[in-house]
Homo-oligomer: A and B are copies of this chain.
Amino acid sequence: MKKLIGTTLALLSMATYGQAKEDSIQFRTISTEILNNGKGYEELRDLTQNIGKRLSGSEAYEKAVQWAAKELRNAGADKVWLQEVMIPVWKRGKESLYIKAGSGKPQSLKMLSLGNSEGTGGKDVSGEIIMVKSLEEYDRLPAEKVKGKIVFFNHPFDQNYVQTFIAYREAGAYRRSAATLTAKKGGKFAIVRSLSSALDDVPHTGGMKYEDNMEKIPAVCIGNTTADQLEELLKNQKVIATLNSNCGMKGEKLSHSVIGEITGKKDQSVIVVGGHLDSWDVGEGAHDDGAGIVQSIEVLRTFKKLGIQNNHTIRAVCFANEENGTKGGKQYGKTAKDTNEKHLFAIESDAGGFSPRGISLEMDDTKRKQIQGWGNLFLPYGVYNFEGKYSGSDIAPLHDMGVPAAELVPDPQRYFDIHHTEEDTFEKVNRRELLLGSVVMTQLIYMIDKNW
């Protein structure tokens, strides 16, 4: 009996070894194909430089929809379609922010209204600036000190975190809720220090949210240098700020997410790989999230090009409206639920097109451990970290329905220098780093398609 078990174990371990070797060879084939023949970088150049920034509701976004459908067909998808979704239309328009310190002359500040913010309706709105460094400090301020004032939330991005996403999440509270917090105490508008890891003067826009039944007052952001200068000014004198802006929500509009798939050879349960097609209305949306889009399309192309016989359907989804509503992700989840379409797995790339370092896994422990067990296969590709427990905002509705979800984890050091800014442009993306992201997602999907 002992001998039998021994033999069985030996055979099993030989089988496992043979398996690992076969997988390792397939990993190399995928990497060789993409690093040599990948089209993602040139696709990204096209998307970012010929279409450019593409906020939900803009003409550019609609062009991007057609572009994505074309690229998915070129990648060899068996089926490409547009998924209807109602999206919010937010527009920036003209905007200006002046300050007047003491008896000095008014000076213009470099700024951006935060995304989804209402403006001043083209009128000047003025008030004295009061500064707080933290939410706790703001909470302690009595309402009469805020009433009629402009609140400057001057909370810096915490450089301590090696994982910059933690600093982003922490500072994000200010961007999201500054307007409502200010309105609650009778302030006129809010100025928020940008969520930026760079030591420069670039303002970083991004989504903010109004609480229901609260007055919708404006919120704007300024760059780090301007924030430091304003802090300095406020030490010695009264500073009056005057905002004039035309931004605001302009209703809803019918738009689309774009979907392409290669049909499963064994069944039609779905593996999703995706990113979001929209961007903010500044820069070119290169890292956020043109990168995720072209990486997802590359996954499909690679399966097709290498003739890998996928058991399950592999679907690239270019989600609409991640930045200011996540309506594309929500609609995708709803449709999957309504049509009772079985989803096996979903992965999103929405953290920049930098060198991959890991895959974050939001799923039950058994599946999580299984994927972690494949870790050694990924090491030669620089991917070692499978400890994260989150996935992406577009696939959150799928995960809420019980679908195992994941996110590609690239190197996070540069992302928040450029995120949601004029600086998020094509030339900030490195070809090899971008393509390696596609390599790793293709490898993971190959493993999941084969083993689940």
Residues of chain A whose beta carbon lies under 8 Å from any beta carbon of chain B: 31-32, 35-36, 159-160, 162, 164, 197-199, 355, 357, 380-382, 384-385, 411, 413-414, 417, 430-433, 436
- 10 A-B contacts (beta carbon < 8 Å): A35-B160, A35-B162, A36-B159, A162-B380, A162-B382, A199-B431, A355-B355, A384-B385, A411-B411, A413-B436
Which B residues are CB-close (under 8 A) to A431? 198-199
- Residues in B with CB closer than 8 Å to A36 are 159-160
Minimal Cβ-Cβ distance residue in B for A164: B432
A35 contact set on B, CB distance < 8 A: 159-160, 162
**Contact across chains for A381 and B414 when beta carbons are under 8 A apart:** no
Contact pick for A413, options B162, B385, B432, CB 8 Å: B432
A409 CA to B414 CA in the complex, in Å? 18
Chain B residue numbers with a CB within 8 Å of A164 are 432
Chain B residues lying within 8 Å of A197, measured Cβ to Cβ, are: 432
- Copies held by the complex: 2
Q: Which residues of chain B are near A160, meaning CB under 8 Å?
A: 31-32, 35-36
Chain B residues within an 8 Å CB radius of A380: 162
Contacts A414-B432, A433-B413: A382 and B357 contacting too (C-beta < 8 A)? yes
Question: Among B31, B159, B417, which residue has its beta carbon within 8 angstroms of that of A162?
Answer: B31
Which residues of chain B come closer than 8 Å to A436, judged between CB atoms? 162, 413
Closest approach, in angstroms, between the C-beta of A46 and any C-beta of chain B? 15
Cβ distance A43 to chain B, nearest Cβ, rounded Å: 14
Chain B nearest CB: distance from A256 CB in Å? 33
Measured between C-beta atoms, what is the minimum distance from A198 to chain B in Å?
7
Task: Taking A31-B160, A414-B430, A417-B430 as given, write out 6 further A-B residue pairs in contact, using a Cβ cutoff of 8 Å, ordered by the A residue number.
Answer: A36-B160, A198-B431, A355-B413, A357-B357, A411-B411, A413-B430
Q: Across the interface, which residues of B come within 8 angstroms of A432, CB to CB?
A: 159, 164, 197, 413-414
Q: Which 3 A-B pairs have the closest CB atoms?
A: A413-B432, A384-B384, A35-B159
| Distance A162 CA – B384 CA, assembled complex (angstroms) | 14
The answer to whether B159 touches A355, judged by C-beta atoms less than 8 angstroms apart, is no
Chain B proximity of A191: nearest CB distance (Å): 24
Q: How far is the CB of A438 from chain B (nearest CB, A)?
A: 13
**How many Å from the CB of A443 to the closest CB on chain B?**
12
Q: How far is the CA of A380 from the CA of B163 in the complex (A)?
A: 8
**A31 to B381 Cα, complex, angstroms:** 27
Q: How far is the CB of A51 from chain B (nearest CB, A)?
A: 22
Question: From A385, which residue of chain B is reached at the shortest CB distance?
Answer: B384
Which residue of the partner chain B has the closest CB to A41? B199
Give min CB distance, A432 to chain B, whole Å: 4
Q: For the complex, what is the distance from the CA of A327 to the CA of B110, rounded to whole Å?
A: 50
Inter-chain contacts of A384 with B (CB < 8 A): 384-385
Q: How far is the CB of A199 from chain B (nearest CB, A)?
A: 7
In angstroms, Cα B413 to Cα A284, docked, is: 23
Once the chains are docked, how many angstroms separate the CA of A133 from the CA of B414? Answer: 37
Q: A414–B431 Cα gap in the complex (Å)?
A: 9
Contacting residues, chain B, for A381 (C-beta < 8 A):
162
Measured CB to CB, the nearest residue on chain B to A200 is: B431
Contacts of A198 in B (CB 8 A): 431
Q: Would you give the shortest CB distance from A412 to chain B, in whole angstroms?
A: 9
Q: Which residues of B contact A411 (CB under 8 A)?
A: 355, 382, 411
Give A117 Cβ to nearest chain B Cβ, in Å: 29
Counting chain B CB atoms within 10 Å of each CB, which of A162, A164, A198, A199 scores highest?
A162
